[in-house]
Amino acid sequence: MCGAELTALPETVQRVARLLQSAGHPHTPQMLDDAARTAQQAADLLGIEVGQVAKSIIFKRKSDNVAVLVVASGDRRVDEKKVDAIVGKTGRADADFVKAATGFSIGGVSPFAHATEPVTLIDRELFRFQEIWAAAGHPHAVVKLSPAELEKLTGAPVADVVQPPASSSLS
């Protein structure tokens, strides 16, 4: 991106694009025709497995009201007890808290380029895939990266933060 392309993007996507560009990331955010507010919507629009979607879930740490970001595989459910064991007791974050803490609206929360740096954890299940896609600051914006690039861009630890997958055995 030379800069001119950035001005056509929403401000929040421009912020993500600038961070990616300054980090030397090889991919720029892409704007989708439809919103990808859920992992399933993103997977359908991108033609990928739902597990390849790196969903950003924000919690509020109860002791100090700091945002806690869990970047999890789209086909897994975050286990709040596992998160709490790592970062301290958390609670649900409402839309106003998410917007104030991250600078992004729910459905477009990027794993990086936040207004205020959150405590971040990366779901180890993302490493099942060579290529993943994350929100890029807007419900219509996504960016391609590898789990290792996500780890490098966020500086966050990789942890076991999700519930085991549902059993697929036939009874």
pLDDT, tens digit only, all 171 positions of the chain: 444 455 578 999 999 999 999 999 999 999 998 888 889 999 999 999 999 999 999 999 999 999 999 999 999 999 999 999 999 999 999 999 999 999 999 989 999 999 999 999 999 999 999 999 999 999 999 999 999 999 999 999 999 999 998 765 454
Tell me the domains of the chain and their CATH numbers. 6-159 (3.90.960.10)
Rounded CA-CA distance 95/127 in Å is: 29
Q: Tell me the β-bridge partners of 143.
A: 134
Rounded CA-CA distance 153/135 in Å is: 14
Residue 8's pLDDT is 77
Express each pLDDT in 1-42 by its tens digit.
444 455 578 999 999 999 999 999 999 999 998 888 889 999
Rounded CA-CA distance 73/65 in Å is: 25
Of all helices (H) and strands (E), which one includes residue 12?
helix 11-22
Tally the C-alpha atoms within 13 A of residue 17's C-alpha that lie toward its C-beta: 21
Residue 99's pLDDT is 96
What pTM, to 2 d.p., does this model score?
Answer: 0.90
Least Cα distance to 145 among 29, 12, 2 occurs for 29
Rounded CA-CA distance 9/169 in Å is: 46
Q: Is 95 left (phi over 0), alpha (psi -120 to 50) or beta?
A: alpha
Residue 1's pLDDT is 43
Q: Token digits for 148?
A: 């290792």
Does residue 91 sit in helix, strand or coil?
strand
